[in-house]
Structures are given as structure tokens and as C-alpha cells.
């Protein structure tokens, strides 16, 4: 049975500042590059047949560090904006914790983690889910059906959206799902993409 390996990008320059990044194309921080190399260490037992990555450079830089660490210079890679981070609209570039102070914890949680809470000029997680799942069904499921192990390097929300789809997580429960920077979610799936089991790994360690 194939493995699907999801890795959130390493810590970016804006992650360090607590800023909502969304579609802004920022670089990894040096700490994020180190995190990406640590993520590679927990993936070394898998033979990775292909990788998919967002169009944003913090994800691409993370994948590059993984490739270098694992010696995967010839790894087939597909890049697509469908895997990009959620567009945070009017909140883009704002400090998350200042917004929390301004709007209160309940509304902040809806903005940050809610399923379909609208953001002016931005996307809901439901919107992200629609584009990510379409890409997954069109370009990744066929590889899983061929028993290929597939790596996806993307973002907190695009990966949460995919996890919701794979695990059939409820609209309410998805608010409690979070990936740390450079955390890996390692799925074992049936050939048609059906969920079998999951293991979370971070910083070179298995989390159960």
C-alpha cells in the first residue's frame, strides 16, 4: 500500500514575526531550513517516487532542503498554486496576536481555524479545501493507485484541508487540527486513497 507524506514548510521570516502570511511569498528563515532538514530525517525510511509543492518559495525551499538531505536530486516534482496557503485577505501582514487582542478569542479562533468563516478579500478553509481536493483527486490519487509514495510540501491550511478530506474530519473538529512548521504527517493509504493509518513526526521524532 502507498504512503502519502505531508510536510508543512519550515519556519519563514514572517512566521518568526507572528504575521499572517497567506499568499505573500516570503523566504524561509535559517531556522526553517534547519527544520526542513530535520523533517527529511524522519522521511528517510520511505522511497519517495514523486513530490508535489505549492507555488510559494517557502514550500519550495523546504522541499529543496529535503531533496538535498536525502540525495533526491532527480525526484520528479510538480508545482501547482492549488497547494498554496490560504489567502488571508484583509488580515494579510497583520500580527496574529494583536488581532486576537483587538477582536477577542472567539472571533480570532473563527478567523484562524474556522471552516467557513468569511474573511473579506480572502478565502475560507472551505475554499482552500475545494481547490486542494480537486488537485489531489486529479494528480495525486492516480499515483497512489500505482502504489507510488507521494510527498506533498505545502502550508498549514492547504495541508489541513487535505487531512480533513483524507480522514473525513468534521467541519467542527478541523479547528483543532494544526501542523507545526516542518511537521510531517505520514499516511498509509489503500490504493484508492482510502485512509488506513497515520503517524505524526516532528524534529526527527515520531509522535505516535
The owner of cell 479562533 is 109
Catalytic residue among 9, 52, 91, 155: 9
In sequence order, the β-bridge partners of residue 200 are: 185
Read out DSSP for 136-175?
A: IIIIIHHHHHTT--EEEEE-HHHHHHHHHHHHT--TTGGG
Q: Return d(Cα 106, Cα 103) in angstroms, integer.
A: 8
Catalytic residue among 35, 52, 65, 85: 85
> Is position 129 annotated as part of the catalytic site?
no
Residue 124 has φ and ψ, to the nearest 5°, of -90, 165
Q: Return d(Cα 50, Cα 152) in angstroms, integer.
A: 9
Q: Return d(Cα 136, Cα 143) in angstroms, integer.
A: 10
How far is CA 116 from each of CA 12, 54, 119, rounded to the nearest angstrom? 26, 22, 9
Q: Which residues are catalytic?
A: 9, 85
Amino acid at each position: 500500500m502507498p504512503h502519502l507524506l505531508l510536510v508543512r514548510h519550515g519556519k519563514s521570516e514572517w512566521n518568526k514575526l507572528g504575521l499572517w502570511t497567506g499568499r505573500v511569498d516570503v523566504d524561509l528563515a535559517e531556522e526553517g531550513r534547519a527544520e526542513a532538514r530535520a523533517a527529511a530525517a524522519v522521511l528517510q525510511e520511505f522511497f519517495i517516487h514523486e513530490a508535489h509543492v505549492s507555488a510559494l518559495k517557502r514550500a519550495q525551499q523546504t522541499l529543496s532542503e529535503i531533496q538535498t538531505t536525502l540525495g533526491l536530486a532527480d525526484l520528479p516534482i510538480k508545482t501547482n498554486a492549488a497547494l498554496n496557503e490560504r489567502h488571508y485577505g484583509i488580515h494579510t501582514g497583520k500580527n496574529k496576536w494583536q488581532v486576537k487582542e483587538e477582536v477577542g478569542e472567539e472571533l480570532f479562533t473563527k478567523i484562524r481555524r474556522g471552516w467557513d468563516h468569511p474573511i473579506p478579500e480572502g478565502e475560507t478553509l472551505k475554499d482552500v479545501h475545494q481547490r486542494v481536493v480537486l488537485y489531489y483527486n486529479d494528480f495525486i490519487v492516480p499515483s497512489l493507485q500505482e502504489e507510488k509514495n507521494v510527498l506533498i510540501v505545502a502550508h498549514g491550511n492547504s495541508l489541513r484541508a487535505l487531512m480533513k478530506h483524507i480522514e473525513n474530519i468534521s467541519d467542527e473538529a478541523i479547528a483543532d487540527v494544526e501542523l507545526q512548521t516542518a511537521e510531517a504527517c505520514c499516511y498509509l493509504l489503500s490504493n484508492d486513497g482510502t485512509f488506513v493509518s497515520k503517524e505524526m513526526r516532528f524534529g526527527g521524532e515520531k509522535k505516535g
